[in-house]
Amino acid sequence: MSRDPAPVQCRDTAPVPEPNGSFAAVVRDAADTGELVVQPRMGFSAPERMRAGLSATRDADAATVGTITLDSYTRVGDFAALRRADADGTDLNGYPLVTADKTVTTTMLDDVRTARFPVQVRHGSARPGPIVDTLIELGIDATEGGPVSYCLPYGRVPLRESVGAWASATARFATVGPRAHVETFGGCMLGQLCPPALLIAVSVLEGMFFAQHGIRSVSLSLTQQTSMHQDLEALHALRAIADRHLTGLDRHIVVYAYMGVYPRSASGAVTLLTDSARLAVLGGAERLIVKTAAEAFRIPTIEENVIALEQAAATARHDVPDGEAVPDTGIRADADTLIEAVLALDDDIGAALVKAFELGLLDVPYCLHTDNAGRTRSYVDESGRVCWSDVGSLPVRPGADLRPRHVGSAELLGALNHVRHRYDAAEPEETYDLPAGTAAPRSRPA
């Protein structure tokens, strides 16, 4: 594509400093003092347990922000099922923010949420309207997701419908003002087998989508994958591309600790988490979403989340080697090409995203959503890099990483377990034990 699109800016193009005490300001202040902000993916259905989780996160020996992860019924908008679960006393796998009594939620947040400890709501919904309306009512200024990244991997909502729902909800959230912060999940979409150029493209495009609908503060995500060198190149590319396309916005980068099949040995899981923290620091990210040593077995306890937060923070403070030169293997060029191809389709970024998936210009490997063309394929090579085996109709150059090949079920299974096997190699498989004095969580998936 020859078109060089103009950067997308928010409606009021004058740069607006993030307000003191906002989610973005707390992350920025920590970065200015050399601290990596660490954050759990924590959600409990009982208000008292959710409050305890937030309090423990706030009091950890780390620079932290709080998380309220919502339950699966809320994610899909099945509020009738939520009310039945409440009547039956059924545990959920997250906090039912929309149907919970607002007074109860406000009391839960009182004295826990402060100017130095903001809270973000994480949810996974392709139709986020009721969630966003509740955030506005409760005065919560940060959430995450996106019209593509919370649609394709998670259900059957048509992409066009998700784009419309996100456009409307984002515009309403923007009325909160400059403190309203949205994190794109685009850099994590089926991330363990998605070549990073595509993750970068979706992350930046969703950030531009939020800006086009009035949001002034965004964070761009990228997940840890299977190669430290490739991940570092991808993070540098993401920052450079964001500098080009998202001028006039407050923004930062968030790394997700590896989201695929997790090591089953405690030592392997801890080593993977320390590598996540090192990646975030060396890649210049300001925030890290952590995972715990219990991830391979069950939902982690509050205590296990705090241990993981403190381990990641300690690594970021004291145990990061000097950075090496990051080679350019073409990730940035491919991501730029994908973004420009999408922006050439329509001035409305939501409409452009829909058209791009219809044409296969964006196509997520191994994603079964009916609006995804499903012609791309990828594999993990001998060095651990995620590479294309088939680019379908993507407008990326066939390069050294592209090796047309049939990826069979055995190789796909091996790729999915690549990280687990590598980090467990030094230890026999073991059952992860709870920290002394703790009990297993009772919540179960909805």
How is 322-385 classified by DSSP, letter by letter?
PP-PPP--SHHHHHHHHHHHHHTT-SSHHHHHHHHHHHTSS--TT---TTS----EEEE-TTS-
Give the model's confidence band at 434: pLDDT under 50 very low, under 70 low, under 90 confident, else very high: very low
The per-residue b/e assignment along 421-438, b for 16 or more CB within 10 angstroms, e otherwise, is eebbeeeeeeebeeeeee
Residue 117 pairs in a beta bridge with: 114
Q: In what order do the strands lie in the sheet with 119-122?
A: 37-39, 287-289, 250-256, 217-223, 181-184, 142-145, 119-122, 66-69
DSSP class of 250: E
**Torsion over CA: 108, 122, 89, 100 (sign):** positive
For residue 275, pLDDT beyond 50: yes
Planar angle of CA 376, 379, 385, nearest 5 degrees: 120
Of 247 and 260, the one with more pLDDT: 247
Task: Judge residue 4's burial from the number of C-beta atoms within 10 Å of its C-beta, 0-12 exposed, 13-18 middle, 19 or more buried.
Answer: exposed
Section 285-295 average pLDDT:
93
- pTM for this structure? 0.90
pLDDT in tens, 34-86: 999 999 999 999 999 999 999 999 999 999 999 999 999 999 999 999 989 88
Give the model's confidence band at 321: pLDDT under 50 very low, under 70 low, under 90 confident, else very high: confident
| Distant-in-sequence, close-in-space partners of 336: CB < 8 Å, separation ≥ 6 | 241
pLDDT in tens, 173-200: 999 999 999 999 999 988 778 999 999 9
Give the model's confidence band at 18: pLDDT under 50 very low, under 70 low, under 90 confident, else very high: low
410-to-383, 384, 413 alpha-carbon distances in Å: 18, 16, 5
383-to-138, 182, 377, 418 alpha-carbon distances in Å: 48, 34, 18, 11
Report the C-alpha gap between 15 and 222 in whole angstroms: 25
Residue 329 phi/psi, 5-degree rounding, is -100, 5
- Residue 425, SS3 per DSSP: coil
Evaluate whether 55 touches 406 at the Cβ level (below 8 Å).
Answer: no
Report the C-alpha gap between 142 and 119 in whole angstroms: 7
pLDDT in tens, 192-223: 789 999 999 999 999 999 999 999 999 999 99
3 state SS for 269-287: HHHHHHHHHHHHHHCCCCE
Mean of pLDDT over the chain: 89
DSSP H helix total and E strand total for the chain: 15, 10
Of 2 and 313, the one with more pLDDT: 313
For residue 14, pLDDT beyond 50: no
Report the relative pairing of strands 386-390 and 377-380 from DSSP bridges: antiparallel
Helices 349-359 + 196-212 axis angle, to 10: 150
Section 360-373 average pLDDT:
96
Of 242 and 422, the one with more pLDDT: 242
Of 71 and 14, the one with more pLDDT: 71
Q: Which of 343, 346, 337, 373 is nearest to 358 (CA)?
A: 373
Q: Which of 145, 141, 134 is nearest to 23 (CA)?
A: 141
Q: What pLDDT score does 12 carry?
A: 40
CA 171 to chain CA centroid, nearest Å: 21
Amino acid at 81: A
Q: What pLDDT score does 189 carry?
A: 86
Q: What pLDDT score does 11 carry?
A: 38
Q: What pLDDT score does 404 carry?
A: 56
pLDDT in tens, 374-396: 999 999 998 999 999 999 999 99
Report the C-alpha gap between 160 and 167 in whole angstroms: 11
Dihedral-angle region of residue 89 (phi above 0 means left; psi in -120 to 50 means alpha; beta otherwise):
left
For residue 441, pLDDT beyond 70: no
Of 363 and 193, the one with more pLDDT: 363
| Distant-in-sequence, close-in-space partners of 117: CB < 8 Å, separation ≥ 6 | 26, 58, 64, 65, 66
Structural domains in the chain?
1-446 (3.20.20.240)
